[in-house]
Structure 1
Amino acid sequence: MALAYMYYRFRGLSVMQGILIGLRPAVIAMIASAGISLLCMALYGQRTFPAEFGSMDLIAVAIFLVGFFILRKWNPSPIKVMAGAAVSGVVLYSIAA
Structure 2
Amino acid sequence: MSLLRLFFAFFQIGLFSIGGGYAIIPMISEQVVQSQHWLSAQEFTDIITISQMTPGPLAVNTSTFVGMRVAGIPGALCATIGCICMGVCIAYGIYHIFQRFSSSRVFMEVLKGLKAGSLGLIMAAAAIIVSLAFFKEGRIAMEAIQIPAVFIFLIILFISRKWKMNPIALMMLSGVVGILFYQ
Q: Does 1:92 align with 2:170?
A: no
Count of residue correspondences: 92
Root mean square deviation of aligned Cα: 1.8
* Match for residue 25 of structure 1 among 98, 113, 116: 116
In percent, how many aligned pairs have the same letter? 29
Unaligned runs of 5+ in 1: none
Q: Deviations over 1:36-84 (max 9, x none)?
A: 111111111233532xx24311111111110011001100122221221
Distance 1:77 1:85, change over 3 A: same
**Whole-Å Cα distance in 1 between the matches of residues 181 and 120 of structure 2?**
33
Extract structure 1 runs of 4+ deviating beyond 4 A: none
Q: Which has the higher contact order (CA 8 A, sep 6+)?
A: 2
Q: Which has the larger radius of gyration?
A: 1
Query: Structure 2, unaligned stretches of length 5 or more?
Result: 1-87
> Partner of 2:171 in structure 1?
82
- Cα separation, 2, equivalents of 1:65 and 1:54: 20
The reply to whether residue 36 of structure 1 matches residue 127 of structure 2 is yes
- Alpha carbons 1:7, 1:16 under 8 Å: kept: no
